[in-house]
């Protein structure tokens, strides 16, 4: 159980508080994500004209195409010297935004620091490809990794993870791998501020309009693009409602000023209650 002191406003250090204040000012100076066309936001990220600046691509990255559910599926691969395992990474972006190649600096760092082959899935995005397209792609990627890790990279230790929507897709992929393929060979899961209830946990519903990257209207906007309302409590959509037994040890990471706070708190509790190891890392701010 997390220390209640972590959630007190005075637990946020001055540097983090100042960063959040500057971030709010920056976000307030531009149209919110849910007020502009999807393609405009995607183009700005690709061209480097958005707030995040020009994308940085890694010379270490290789692209690999495997058969996907709807044509070739691209995997972006980072192979370090003497790899010890594979990290299957799933990027965030609300199932609508983001690409595997826009995560290059972080994935290169993980590959080198952890001596892990990092494989990032360039899954299909909504609204052009709504549920279950993204999850289908991640399932295919996970199955390919499970079947080819040793022959391709000489390793058999597998970890899966992602951030925000990527955390959601990582969790749901683990459940599909268990249920559809009888595969429970992932050694761990790295679930970073994930989304686990697409019908909205209390922290999502009660957050309101304050914009620290996400807010309640933006979450609604993402959901409307990704999946119909009547499916949002289906266990294949919202893993908080799924059978969570026989899943790998997981690290759940969240900040206290995040609309997705309850998703992590609830999911970590259910993960542990299902008999799995579940570590929780809560950061003030």
Task: Extract the tokens encoding 172.
Answer: 């749901």
- pLDDT value for 225: 99
Q: What confidence category does residue 53 fall into, taking pLDDT thresholds of 50, 70 and 90?
A: confident
- pLDDT value for 114: 98
- pLDDT value for 1: 78
Beta bridge partners of 119: 77, 88
What is the rounded average pLDDT for all residues in the chain? 97
Residues ≥6 apart with Cβ < 8 Å to 8: 284
Question: Which of 49, 55, 121 has its CA nearest to residue 86?
Answer: 121
Q: What pLDDT, in 10s, does the model give residues 67-125? A: 999 999 999 999 999 999 999 999 999 999 999 999 999 999 999 999 999 999 999 99
Query: What's the topology of domain 4-283?
Result: Rossmann fold (3.40.50)
Query: CB-side exposure of 155: number of CA atoms within 13 Å?
Result: 20
Q: What confidence category does residue 263 fall into, taking pLDDT thresholds of 50, 70 and 90?
A: very high
- pLDDT value for 85: 99
Task: Extract the tokens encoding 121.
Answer: 């899935």
- pLDDT value for 166: 99
Q: What pLDDT, in 10s, does the model give residues 137-173? A: 999 999 999 999 999 999 999 999 999 999 999 999 9
Number of H helices, E strands in the chain: 8, 8
Structural contact between residues 88 and 65, judged by C-beta atoms closer than 8 angstroms: no
Distance CA 4, CA 261 (A): 14
Q: What confidence category does residue 217 fall into, taking pLDDT thresholds of 50, 70 and 90?
A: very high
> Does residue 50 carry a pLDDT above 90?
no
Structural contact between residues 189 and 248, judged by C-beta atoms closer than 8 angstroms: yes
Angle at 21 between CA 18 and CA 27, to 5 degrees: 140
- pLDDT value for 51: 80
- pLDDT value for 116: 99
- pLDDT value for 22: 96
């Amino acid at each position: 159980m997390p220390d209640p002191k972590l959630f007190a406003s005075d637990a946020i250090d001055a540097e983090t508080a100042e960063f959040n204040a500057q971030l709010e000012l920056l976000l307030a100076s531009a149209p919110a994500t849910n007020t502009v066309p999807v393609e405009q936001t995607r183009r700005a990220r690709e061209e480097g004209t958005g707030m995040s600046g020009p994308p940085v691509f890694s010379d270490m990255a290789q692209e690999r195409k495997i058969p996907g559910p709807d044509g070739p599926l691209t995997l972006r691969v980072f192979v370090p010297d003497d790899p010890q395992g594979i990290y299957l990474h799933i990027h965030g972006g609300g199932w609508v935004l983001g690409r595997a190649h826009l995560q290059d600096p972080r994935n290169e760092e993980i590959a080198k620091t952890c001596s892990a082959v990092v494989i990032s899935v360039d899954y299909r995005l909504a609204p052009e490809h709504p549920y279950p397209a993204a999850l289908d792609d991640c399932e295919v990627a996970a199955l390919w990794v499970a079947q080819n890790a040793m022959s391709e990279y000489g390793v058999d230790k597998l970890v899966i993870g992602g951030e925000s929507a990527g955390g959601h897709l990582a969790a749901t992929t683990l459940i599909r791998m268990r249920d559809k393929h009888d595969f429970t060979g992932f050694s761990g899961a790295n679930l970073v501020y994930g989304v686990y209830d697409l019908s909205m946990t209390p922290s999502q519903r009660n957050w309101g309009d304050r914009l620290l990257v996400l807010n309640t209207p933006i979450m609604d906007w993402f959901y409307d693009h990704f999946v119909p309302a009547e499916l949002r409590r289906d266990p294949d959509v919202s893993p908080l409602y799924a059978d969570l037994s026989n899943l790998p040890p997981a690290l759940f990471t969240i900040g206290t000023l995040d609309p997705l706070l309850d998703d992590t708190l609830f999911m970590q509790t259910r993960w542990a209650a299902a008999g799995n190891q579940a570590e929780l890392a809560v950061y003030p701010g």
